[in-house]
Amino acid sequence: MNNNPIDIRFQKLRADNKKAFIPFITAGDPSTNATYLIAKAMIENGADVIEFGVPYSDPSADGPVIMRADERALAAGTRLTDVFDVCRKVTTDYPDIPVLLLLYYNSVFVYGKDKFLSACKDNGISGLIIPDLPFEERDELEPTADRYGIYLISMVTPTSFDRIRTIVPEAKGFLYCVSTSGVTGERQTFETHFQEYMNSLNNYSDIPKCLGFGISTPEQKRAMEKCCDGIIVGSALVKQIESAVHDHLSETEIAEKLGAVVKTFTEDFIC
């Protein structure tokens, strides 16, 4: 059995017949201590995996909500070393909860590939999501990542059918299935036929498949998780942080608010 925490977590979820809930927040928004408190609250309220965004000045895959979060985090002075510190605290407190980073390749390149991946290992990070690193260019990073036991999480989109047969069999940890084309952000409706989408992926691998991008309500989450192994929610949570900052809530109050929001996604309703 693989010992990457991502594999272990999804194996347990499958054994328990449960779906993963993966919240995303931007590290350092509004502060690194707040990020730590929010992560703890989200885990205590049912998060199975934590995804931290590394703030970046030009996040090409993100919509306005996460772009503003990046701006707040950068304005607060958040550096990559600060993100590593938060990850270490979370994984020390919750060693069974995988922590992922979503970041852009330039951040890795500037830091230094080997130095970066070594730091990921030292701070308990299990996987990386790098939207601007095409599958065809993964050899830039994957051999070093493999050496440190860090997974590069593959992404597919509803329009990438011609590439699915190449990407899916090579995926590690889980497959990040983008729910719709475009950037991140809340959506009221989706054009994708999700069951057909998942079936096309299942033809090539039984790796866990998680849907993300635009999922913003517990109702959407419950409808979509019927055909996949997990749901990723980001902009809807980041928007709650933005609102809390605007209302001048304390860091503890922000964490409590986010914990309560996550609970609405993770609690089981009896019909």
Show which residues are catalytic.
51, 62
Distances (CA, A) of 148 to 106, 109, 125, 157, 266: 20, 17, 10, 28, 32
Q: Say if residue 102 is exposed, middle or buried (CB neighbours under 10 Å; 0-12, 13-18, 19+).
A: buried
Q: Say if residue 111 is exposed, middle or buried (CB neighbours under 10 Å; 0-12, 13-18, 19+).
A: middle
What amino acid occupies position 133?
Answer: L
In angstroms, rounded to a whole number, what is the distance separating the alpha carbons of residues 234 and 131?
Answer: 15
Whether a cis peptide bond, with omega within 30° of 0, leads into 158 is no
In angstroms, rounded to a whole number, what is the distance separating the alpha carbons of residues 259 and 249?
Answer: 14
